[in-house]
Amino acid sequence: MFSKSRRLIAIGAAAAIALSMAACSGTSARSDPNSIVWSTWGTPEELTRFYEFNTEFMKRHPDITVKLQPVASYSDYHSKLLAQLTSNTAPDVFYVGDDKIGQFVASKRLMPLTDLMESPASETKPDDFFPGLFGAAKTDKEIFAAPNDSNPDVLWYDKVALKNAGVTEDPATLAAAGEWTTEKYLDMNEKLKAAGLTGSLFWNYWATHYSWISSQGGTAFDKAGKFVANTDKTSVAAVAELGKNFNDGTFVVADTLPAGAGADSVFVTHKAGFFSQGRYTIGTVESAGVQDDYDIVAWPTPDGTPAPTGVAASYLAINAGTKAKDAAFTFWTEFLSAEGQTFRLAGGGNAVPSIKGADDVVLKDGYPAHAQTFLDMRDIGFAGPATEAGVPGLSTDVSDMMLAFYQGKGDAQGTLDDVEKLITSKTGK
């Protein structure tokens, strides 16, 4: 699950109170090998589907009791979970965000999963997952968590806004012909700006900076995990172009928009041409009643050939201290299985499967028209960089530096040099 709730401060207090009734004490207070507690964050709608999954799971396994222990705020979730792990009161199974997973792997509190995944009891073999999605959840020797689903940051586009700006070509049609180039994209953005509209909306996090670098032919991290964008001329030029468009208002940082006039509102009222988001945007445009005005396309490249870009994810892990190892793994593997992901993501679900065999859930409703783009981008995409995810707060610190740059404070080379110094000082790489 990866939704906008990860970028919001909290779910409503009333929902949190209602959902907390499902909570129970932590692992150390339980010794029943057939009773498990699992935890996540999420919107009320997402949590409803999880409760439904629990019910179906217990019908299949009447000897196992499952309880969901939700946390209202993503910003509070991981600190609470780390404290629970330290005090041996953590849930048996739990979600971890892609910007935190490296920290949790380093904590030595996650159960190694490779042998279990390869066992006869597994419905989720390591090779069933798309390899680019493991990110920092997988080391050279071991898997410690697996992506429960994913969300490629596609470019949603507003056909009405583009038409109002005098754009006559359709981005998805250009992409199908191999002609979705950076030049075409930037030209559309210029026309949108000239028409008094926002060109593109982006959230300020790792997938924005590193997707742009990758799509333009640059390299942010080398194979050893060292940040190298500051020494790669293509990357520096790409970031300079990105900054120029933010500086002149063609691109807008969605996080900085005022309350009451947020990015969703701007987008569904035909005031912006493009919005970099995941599959959860289906719900946004449907609730506004304007879904027919929108479609999706991959990030543009200099020559029109698709390139790897960021795929947001969250991960499911098992507490190494669980007293219910067998029951926990049964839940874990069924939750992540093709059947489990289909159940969770059906009916306009908010994410894209991370495992083979569940792709129909994205395509069966025929929306958006080019829904295959979600799958194509997932197949070649990359998860959050392990180097950043392994240090608490590092990804946020990098994004803060990039935001200052987007706001006109500094140039591309200096900003990337500063990012490299920060990452090296925190990681030794």
Write the pLDDT tens digit of every residue in 379-407. 999 999 999 998 989 999 999 999 999 99
pTM of the model: 0.91
Instruction: Name the amino acid, one letter, at 169.
Output: E
DSSP 129: B
Is there a shared CATH topology between the 4-151+313-380 domain and the 154-309+391-427 domain? Answer: yes
CATH 3.40.190.10 for domain 154-309+391-427, yes or no, is yes
Question: Is 374 in contact with 296 (CB distance < 8 Å)?
Answer: yes
Q: In Å, what is the CA distance from 356 to each residue of 141, 153, 308, 352, 378?
A: 23, 19, 19, 11, 11
Question: How distant is the alpha carbon of residue 90 from its chain centre?
Answer: 24
What pLDDT does residue 129 have? 97
Is the pLDDT reported for residue 146 higher than 80?
A: yes
Q: List all residues 6 or more positions away from 143 whose beta carbon is below 8 Å from its beta carbon.
A: 112, 113, 114, 117, 126, 134, 137
Percent of the chain scoring above 70 in pLDDT:
93
CA distance 58 to 233: 55
Domain 4-151+313-380 in this protein, CATH class: alpha beta
The residue ranges of every structural domain in the chain are 4-151+313-380, 154-309+391-427
pLDDT per residue over 231-285, tens digit each? 999 999 999 999 999 999 999 999 999 988 999 999 999 999 999 999 999 999 9
pLDDT over 60 (residue 29):
no
